[in-house]
Amino acid sequence: MIRELHRYVTQRLFGKGVINFRRKGPVNLIDVGSAGTLPYPWKKNPHLIRNLLKFEPRDEATHLPHVITVSSALWEENCERDFYIYRGRKGSGSSLFEQNYEYVAEHFEELRKHGPQGLAKTWFERSRLERVERIACRTLDDVLEELGQPFSYHFLKIDAQGAEYPILRGAEKLLSGSCIGLHLELFIIPLYKGIRLLDEVQGYLRGFGFELLKKFPAHGSFDSQHDCLFLKENSNSKIENIIRTIYEL
């Protein structure tokens, strides 16, 4: 039974026949919020991953060789918070932050000029609140300490619908230590209430020595967000070279 579960989770994460655990790569990766699959561009390079730690509050927790899924949300402190589940597309857009209906309504005529027109036309319908769940939140630093793994993580990817900044606040030990790369989805307009925007997060990360090296094209409703790659300055390591190659720097 354990072997079958291992095969199922491995195929779900990496794709059938792609990963070979006998030839593990050097990168230890933390993936926050990818709901069942590796994020781009790691999905095309699973052979470069040695250990994977995933956080998805609505997925089943698993603990398998080289792959751990933690069924918990991350935040800047250990607490309970409301999790807002919106109609979206299969729950996409759900967040620890409320949708900023007032901002979108006030600026809609200008916002609708940006991004896919289909997303603009359906934003209010897709953003209808379905329900609110109370969920437990942890800090990433506390989870890593509790796991007590005999290795460190090099790369952190977060796609958390506006919660990137508080998650980073709860990971300052990791940011100050072994982590040399970040892939974050950051907003340039306040599509959720109270979120920190790209410029603010960039300034915060500069204090840990991280430099924004690649900003992908805007995407999402109203072109509201960018995927951003940050690397720690002067790390000069084999891991950094691998990250640069994967992201075509």
pLDDT tens string 1-15? 333 333 334 444 444
Domain with CATH 3.40.50 in the chain: 2-78+137-246
Other residues' Cβ atoms within 10 Å of the Cβ of residue 136: 13
2-78+137-246 CATH fold: Rossmann fold (3.40.50)
Q: Which of 46, 68, 199, 249 is nearest to 144 (CA)?
A: 68
Q: Check whether 66 has a pLDDT greater than 90.
A: no
pLDDT tens string 103-160? 999 999 999 999 999 999 999 999 999 999 999 999 999 999 999 999 999 999 999 9
pTM, to two decimals: 0.89
CB 157 within 8 A of CB 131: no
pLDDT at 187: 98
